[in-house]
Amino acid sequence: MASARLDASPCPTPAWLPDGHSQTIYGALFAHHHRIAFVRERVNTPDGDFVDIDWTGPGLFPHKAPAGESMTALAIADKKTAAARWACDADWAALPNTPLTPALVLFHGLEGGSKSRYAQSIAHHFRARGWVVAIAHFRGCSGTPNRLARAYYSGDSDEVKFLLGATQRRVPHARWHAVGVSLGGNALLKYLGEQGTAIEGLHACAGVSVPMDLVAGGNQLSKNFFNRHVYTAHFLKTMKHKVMEKARRFPGAIDVMRISHARDLRDFDDAYTAPMHGYRNALDYWTRASSKPHLRTIALPTLILNARNDPFMPAAALPGPADCAESVLLHQPPEGGHAGFPAGAFPGHLNWLPQRLGRFFETGL
């Protein structure tokens, strides 16, 4: 049986960021990146909820209203988002829409969105090269609480399918690509494997810093002082706030006491994510939602990029070539941390990751 290709070439991480923790934290919070604003579209879901998609591309001007429209009426005042205004009909007519138009949809990581540094750097890189870019927010991650008691989770391949359809319908003739980062990457890879050769409308995909084995990743974030009190505490702060807000709107639907006492992701997923989304408990969720068992049936050209020093995912749990279909390219550099891959002289930048994605999409290498 044919297997994946393996690329072990390094990411040029700087000597002043000597390990996976420093590379992850600096990349997420401090590394230089070009700020980019978006035009936002709100899409209603079949179950009565909504998702927000932030767009950029040739012909879109986030800080200027199209002719005949009022910028005051379209503007988004909320500073929690990178979107400057709401989209209108004239915006879709302004976007290029031919078979030669390259387009990218990005699925963010846990508690991420269009303001995340990796999303900003990827969007800026591809927009500057003439691509249409859509940042697809999972429910509750766009700065506005979603309408239902449910939220988003790492194995929601149905949501990935819906979001891919929503973006492709807006620019149907473009040459579409997809990137998933961390949690969003797991959902994307799971979807690709489940669909196999039935995938339509996508040319190539990539997963970045993906915890393909959610059991190993969840245990990793729960097992030592630094992971529990830095990374997990960071995620739980916003996740608990969102779920407590839901509990006020949906009395009795959420175990508030268990949520308030959650100290790691296993506790949180046991109390909320798993039961809310149809799983028995956190272990059942992590096991059934992992994308690793689906990598052998991915038919689309797909890059899976994981640094071997990623503090969120033990290197021993990463897939090898025999775990994946021949359509997959595994790139596992020794350094890079989680989701940032900072490079360059101080103060550093995040240009390496979008350049790596661009090379794969252009050459397959």
- Over the stretch 82-106, which tens digit does the pLDDT of each residue have? 999 999 999 999 999 999 999 999 9
Same domain? For 83 and 102 the reply is: yes
Radius of gyration of the chain (CA): 20
Same-domain check for residues 182 and 323:
yes
Same domain, 164 and 237: no
* Lowest-confidence pick of 186-190, 223-227, 325-329: 223-227
Taking all residues of the chain, what is their mean pLDDT, rounded to a whole number? 96
Residue 334 to residue 315: CA distance in whole angstroms = 10
Q: Does 1 score more than 70 pLDDT?
A: no
Q: What is the pLDDT of residue 97?
A: 92
- Residue 348 sits in a domain of what CATH number? 3.40.50.1820
CA–CA distance from 190 to each of 144, 150, 297 (Å)?
Answer: 27, 20, 10
pLDDT in tens, 307-341: 999 999 999 999 999 999 999 999 999 999 999 99
In degrees, rounded to 5, the angle at the alpha carbon of residue 303 between the alpha carbons of residues 298 and 309 is 120
Predicted local distance difference test score (pLDDT) of residue 230: 95
Q: What is the mean pLDDT of residues 231-240?
A: 96
- In this structure, the answer to whether residues 93 and 229 fall within a common structural domain is no
| Tokens read off for 10 | 């390094």
Helix (H, G, I), strand (E, B) or coil at 70: coil
- Residues 245, 190 within the same domain: no
Give mean pLDDT, residues 188-208. 97
Structure tokens at 61: 């001007």
* Residue numbers of the domain that contains 79: 5-210+295-363
- CA–CA distance, 139 with 144 (Å, rounded to integer): 9
130 and 195, same domain (yes or no): yes
The domain boundary, picked from 271, 289, 307, lies at 289
Residues 309 and 350 in one domain: yes
**Of the residues 242, 265, 289, the one at which a domain ends:** 289
pLDDT value, residue 327:
98
Residues 136-181: pLDDT tens digits? 999 999 999 999 999 999 999 999 999 999 999 999 999 999 999 9
Run of H or E including 123 = helix 117-128
User: Is residue 48 domain-shared with residue 122, that is, in the same domain?
Assistant: yes
Q: How many domains does the chain have?
A: 2
**Same-domain pairing of 205 and 225:** no
Q: Please identify, among 289, 322, 354, the residue that sits at the C-terminal boundary of a domain.
A: 289
- Does position 108 have pLDDT exceeding 70, yes or no? yes
* Burial tier of 69 (Cβ tally within 10 Å: 0-12, 13-18, 19+): middle
Same-domain check for residues 190 and 284 = no
Q: Are residues 321 and 220 in the same domain?
A: no
At a CB cut-off of 8 Å and minimum separation 6, what does 169 contact? none
Q: Give the span between the Cα atoms of 260 and 244, in whole angstroms.
A: 9
Q: What is the pLDDT of residue 78?
A: 79
pLDDT average, residue stretch 236-257: 96
Mean pLDDT of 259-277: 97
Same structural domain for residues 325 and 344? yes
Q: How far, in Å, are 87, 97, 105, 171, 285 from residue 94 at the CA level?
A: 11, 9, 18, 11, 42
pLDDT of residue 313: 96
